[in-house]
């Protein structure tokens, strides 16, 4: 069976319309942080205020996501999403109002917290749905590869939509578009949610959030580092384009890495099952480290920078797919949604830290931001080694499906 032919099974398991709906429903998730930055900065004429507003949104989103996941594990996605979706649309409407009026007081911070705290982790919930309907591990690997590809494209196209909407209309247009998508795609996504993914459990039997997070800690670590990698590479690329006198193409150069990453996430189904998860993490982190260091040397050419980022992206996509695969394997029963949403929180926090630290380092040159990204990738290598050691120690008592070495 060819690589792309493996994806033909997905519309048969779900449906083409449901898959398209999930793509549209997750777009606001990628648009809200940058949309907030654009709108608030324009209305207050202060980048610092825009950055602080974005931080409020991102922190609220990161904290709330696992709690929303826990709620969904307990009550089911349909109940939780049906309640939160209109609240999120209303919170975005409030954020549009405060941004458009130039408000920089408590009402702005409250609207940011509400918008972030009620943001819907659609990608995580979609992965949770796949876990319940696929018939075997190969189908699950295919579904996770597809979802990682969609995430990559959304996070590449989402910021592009923000830029287009803000340029073509008004600075708050991206937030208005996000609110409309929440209503038009988020509501149907909520109403088509399945019954609770696990059999009913007493609260005493349900694993605590801390136990779930500890169980999937290696995957969270990988996703957090990928987030830092994204954030620092974005700031480094922005500074590199500025250094070479072409700041307007920074987004396009950065997007090249996303294209490479999305392509290889799609191709990840071709990796033989015999290749251990620890080896996948190790090789992915090593490739990211080596090629981002190559990017640091492209000081005189945006074309060379783009080429190096394209090669770097080839290792990012499969690593993301692997991280979600580790999450599915390690999440205890009754904690799937918490585990999946914690991955989204990890990458969100990682991007924030990577952007902040990378931005400060970029003041001394784009290469320093890229080197910080290399450190984040190197940590992924270490996690791969740790998974190998841990898997080797417990191989005797682990089932073949649960062995991570």
Boundary of a domain, candidates 179, 197, 215: 197
Q: Does residue 167 sit within a domain? A: yes
By the 8 A CB rule, do 174 and 161 touch?
yes
Lookup: tokens for 226: 């990928």
Q: Which of 9-18, 70-79, 395-404 has the lowest mean pLDDT?
A: 395-404
The domain boundary, picked from 138, 166, 197, lies at: 197
Domain contains 93: yes
pTM of the model: 0.79
What domain range includes position 273?
A: 204-405
Do 27 and 96 lie in one domain? The reply is yes
**Shared domain check, 384 and 345:** yes
**In a shared domain, residues 181 and 256:** no
Pair (245, 328) in one structural domain: yes
Asked whether residue 366 is assigned to any structural domain, the reply reads yes
Question: Do 335 and 383 lie in a common domain?
Answer: yes
Query: Same domain for 382 and 234?
Result: yes
Same domain flag for 233 and 161: no
Question: Is 147 within the bounds of a domain?
Answer: no
2 pLDDT higher than 50: yes
Task: Note whether 237 and 289 are same-domain residues.
Answer: yes
Do 219 and 177 sit in the same domain of this protein?
Answer: no
- pLDDT at position 198 over 60: no
Give the end of a domain, one of 166, 197, 228: 197
Number of domains in the chain: 2
- State pLDDT tens for residues 243-294: 888 876 777 788 888 888 888 888 887 788 788 888 999 999 999 999 999 9
CB proximity list for 79: less than 8 A, separation 6 or greater:
none
Residues 227 and 324 occupy one common structural domain: yes
Does residue 288 form part of some domain? yes
CA dist 172 and 99 (Å) reads 7
Q: Each residue of 357-396: b (16+ CB within 10 Å) or e?
A: bbbebbeebbbbbbbbbbebbbbbbebbebbbeebeeeee
Is the same domain home to 188 and 210?
A: no
Structural domain includes residue 139: no
pLDDT for residue 370: 94
pLDDT tens by residue, 108-131: 999 999 999 998 888 888 888 888
Identify the residue with better confidence: 399 or 381. 381
- 224 and 107 assigned to the same domain: no
Residue 389 belongs to a domain with what CATH number? 1.20.1250.20
How distant is the alpha carbon of residue 99 from its chain centre? Answer: 25
Q: Is residue 46 part of a domain?
A: yes
- Cα-trace Rg, the chain: 20
In a domain, 320, yes or no: yes
């Amino acid at each position: 069976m060819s690589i792309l032919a493996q994806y033909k099974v997905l519309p048969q398991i779900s449906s083409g319309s449901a898959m398209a709906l999930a793509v549209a429903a997750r777009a606001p998730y990628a648009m809200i942080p940058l949309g907030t930055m654009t709108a608030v900065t324009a209305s207050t004429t202060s980048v610092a205020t825009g950055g602080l507003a974005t931080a409020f949104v991102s922190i609220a989103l990161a904290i709330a996501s696992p709690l929303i996941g826990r709620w969904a594990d307990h009550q089911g996605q349909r109940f939780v999403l049906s309640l939160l979706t209109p609240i999120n649309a209303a919170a975005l409407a409030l954020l549009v109002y405060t941004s458009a009026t130039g408000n920089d007081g408590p009402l702005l911070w409250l609207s940011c917290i509400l918008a972030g705290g009620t943001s819907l982790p659609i990608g995580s919930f979609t992965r949770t749905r796949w876990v319940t309907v696929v018939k075997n591990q190969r189908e699950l690997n295919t579904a996770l590869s597809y979802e990682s590809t969609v995430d990559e494209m959304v996070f590449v196209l989402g910021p592009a939509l923000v830029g287009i909407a803000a340029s073509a209309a008004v600075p708050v247009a991206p937030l208005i578009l996000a609110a409309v998508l929440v209503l038009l795609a988020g509501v149907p996504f909520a109403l088509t949610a399945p019954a609770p993914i696990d059999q009913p459990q007493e609260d005493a039997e349900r694993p605590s959030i801390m136990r779930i997070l500890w169980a999937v800690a290696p995957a969270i670590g990988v996703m957090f580092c990928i987030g830092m990698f994204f954030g620092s590479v974005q700031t480094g690329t922005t500074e590199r384009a500025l250094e070479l006198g072409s700041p307007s193409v920074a987004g396009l150069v950065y997007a090249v890495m996303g294209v490479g990453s999305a392509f290889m996430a799609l191709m990840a189904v071709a990796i033989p099952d015999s290749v251990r998860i620890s080896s996948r993490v190790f090789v992915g982190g090593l490739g990211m480290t080596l090629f981002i260091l190559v990017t640091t040397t492209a000081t005189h050419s945006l074309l060379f920078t783009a080429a190096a980022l394209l090669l770097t992206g080839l290792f990012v996509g499969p690593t993301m797919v692997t991280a979600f695969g580790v999450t599915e394997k390690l999440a205890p029963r009754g904690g799937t949604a918490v585990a999946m949403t914690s991955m989204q929180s990890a990458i969100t926090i990682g991007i924030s830290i990577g952007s902040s630290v990378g931005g400060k380092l970029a003041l001394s040159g784009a290469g320093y931001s890229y080197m910080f990204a290399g450190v984040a990738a190197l940590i992924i290598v270490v996690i791969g080694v740790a998974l190998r050691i841990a898997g080797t120690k417990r191989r005797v008592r682990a089932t073949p499906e649960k062995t991570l070495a």
